[in-house]
A and B are shown apart, each in its own frame.
Chain A
């Protein structure tokens, strides 16, 4: 019987330990309101954010703010929110939502309406793109927090060396890249994100928009048009005809393309602003050699950048809606956005901060970014955007990997998107 009692004892011990550990954090003290702030991991020291939350606690006695992180990956967060909000979980009160989810979450009835935090007068203090993204059927469901948009990075030193100006059109970019590639060994012309994921849609939209095309117009799908076909043919040609973009673009996301450029192996790159800081690191191989500007456009088109970024919203089923709304107001205030921008290098959503001398001194890139953000466009604002994106990702990836022609892919995409919108109507 010894073996049984030993095994039984071990078993009881393990279960007991697990139970003890399970009773971990303990509940709030009586009379205290706990507001839970759920957000993706911020890359850097958690102290500045915590300091902001502590400040809120001091201003609102009796309120405790708990800060819970999720993996930074957009997919994991979306999945997490879908499971929790569908189950009407009240486990968190304030959530950070990606710019493409607001319409979806609002339509599903998962977010509190926050129009009183952003009356029409207030909205002018933010960039127009994010405001468009957080408005659903005339009401505001989230407050913009941070902004992101696509940029063109270029190697100043190489352009100077070969006496080329910074390209303003896509055609110019291709000509410049081919010329420089002919003279520089092992340099790729133009790297961007072409893996089958959300980033691909961000890239492709920039081609579509800068040619005067797009996906939605007045709520209708207008995908299969000559302008769009032209734009996507160009995107495909970058890889297959001009040879300016390496074939490995079909696996490239932000980081791989950033690394290729950061190793000095590319002339141009399309990426988000975050890479700039990393290139300015002393150990970086391209330190001091990188310039940043707005993305090129097609002849006769206008420059366009895809909008990214995060907004703060309140859970519809939160039991502390009032306190949660106040926390949202606090975290999106001018002071808070400035402090977080200084600490984490994010780009604030409030336009006034782009004239702030202290912030400009710390992040000189903001001058360029202000221009870009003012015209950055949100991806099609519809509750079904994520499904739209899936269809687009699949067809766009087929174009880039050479499996489908742009015409065939656009036709297929239009057919599928019409079906989705028809099903949902």
Chain B
């Protein structure tokens, strides 16, 4: 009985997460003439014209590649800078760590709309207008607070004895970080990485302001370029949404192994 209830709850959750997206999938396969009519709920015939259109009219593949580069770059950079910082804050126990953590958090508490204008000045002065690099460092900087906080949390959960034992064995601090702490905190690393990736993948305001041409255009700006002055091509937007979301989901599912592998039905009760 309880397992039936649980299965029902699970189905509800899955439905809840999936339903709007499923609606997007259906919309992306609807012929243009039927796009706005309800009924029918399921289109009478299926068409791939919207998927063809998003690649035909715009350099969408290049845009997706740009996004992938920026997101991957920002993620790796954020982890590469955030992990040592979290290490210093949690295990090496730097003095004034509360202040540092609060300060880092403070950075993420400003609305991006206020910082976009002066940031534009900074990046233009550095000659980084319309480059992917500008986006990479911007996204890294704005993801660092979350990464540092998360990693500090997860590193802090690593028992100190293990670290001390590694050091006693002759490891340098950095070696201990890499060989001992990182593997134990892998779930946190991957969670932070995934969140940074999705943030960089979906960010719009900075991407719009700091880029001008397809050379550095990313997906959200690309999609914003589909509509005309009044016309909104819902079919194409739906097709684009499906196209850009699935890779992220596949990526996440691929990396989830380390995040939830350790959870077995017996381990968590309640």
Partners in one complex: yes
| Interface set of A (CB-CB < 8 Å, partner B) | 1, 3-4, 7, 10-11, 14-15, 17-19, 21-25, 38, 40-44, 66, 68-69, 71-73, 76, 79-80, 83-84, 86-87, 89, 91-92, 254-255, 258-259, 262-263, 272, 274-275, 278, 283-284
Known: A43-B228, A72-B229, A83-B116. 18 other contacts (CB 8 A): A3-B178, A3-B182, A7-B80, A10-B76, A11-B76, A15-B73, A22-B132, A38-B212, A41-B228, A43-B231, A79-B209, A80-B209, A87-B124, A255-B232, A263-B37, A274-B229, A274-B231, A284-B33
User: Please, could you name 28 A-B residue pairs with CB atoms under 8 Å apart, sorted by A?
Assistant: A7-B76, A7-B80, A14-B69, A14-B77, A15-B76, A21-B132, A22-B128, A41-B227, A42-B228, A43-B227, A43-B228, A43-B231, A44-B228, A66-B213, A68-B212, A71-B227, A72-B225, A72-B229, A83-B116, A83-B209, A87-B117, A89-B124, A91-B129, A91-B212, A254-B230, A255-B230, A272-B230, A274-B230
Instruction: Tell me the smallest distance from the CB of B89 to a CB of chain A, in Å.
Output: 20
Query: In the bound complex, how far is the Cα of B230 from the Cα of A118, in angstroms?
Result: 29
Q: Is the CB of B117 within 8 A of A22?
A: no
Alpha-carbon separation in the docked complex, A10 to B193 (Å):
14
CA distance A284 to B228 in the complex (A): 19
- Residues of B within 8 Å of A86, CB to CB, are 117
Report the Cα distance A21→B33, complex, angstroms: 40
Contact indicator per residue, chain B 114-143, by CB within 8 Å of chain A (1) or not (0): 001100110010001111111010000000
Q: Is B72 interfacial (CB-CB < 8 Å)? A: yes
Given contacts A14-B76, A21-B69, A83-B209, contact A1 B178 (CB under 8 A): yes
Q: Please, what's the 1-or-0 string for B47-74, where 1 marks a CB less than 8 Å from any CB in chain A?
A: 0000000000000000000100110110
Query: Which 6 pairs across A and B sit closest by C-beta, in order of nearness?
Result: A43-B228, A24-B215, A22-B131, A283-B33, A71-B224, A22-B133
Question: Nearest B residue to A284 by beta-carbon distance?
Answer: B33
Q: Nearest Cβ distance between residue B138 and chain A, in whole angstroms?
A: 12
The smallest beta-carbon distance between A257 and chain B, in angstroms, is 10
Return B168 CB to nearest CB of chain A, in Å.
19
Q: How far is the CA of A250 from the CA of B153 in the complex (A)?
A: 46
Interface residue count on the B side (C-beta < 8 Å): 45
Q: Which of B128, B209, B215, B229 has the most CB of A within 10 A?
A: B229
Residue of B nearest to A86 (CB): B117
A281, closest chain B residue (CB): B33
Complex Cα–Cα for A83 and B37 (A): 40
Most buried by A among B136, B209, B215, B230: B230
| B187-206 interface with A by 8 A CB criterion | none
**Chain B 225-243 against A: per-residue CB contact (8 Å), 1 yes, 0 no?**
1111111100000000000
Q: B131 contacts which chain A residues (CB < 8 A)?
A: 22-24
User: A7 to chain B: which residues have CB within 8 Å?
Assistant: 76, 80
Q: Provide the residues of chain B in CB contact with A19, threshold 8 Å.
A: 133
- Closest B residue to A309 using CB positions: B229
CA gap between A90 and B216 in the complex, in Å: 18
Bound-complex Cα distance A86 to B72 (A)? 32
- Provide the bound-state CA to CA distance between A259 and B66, in Å: 35
- Closest CB in chain A relative to B233 CB, distance in Å: 8
A residues near B120, Cβ cutoff 8 Å: 83-84, 87
Residues of A within 8 A of B224 (CB): 71, 73, 76
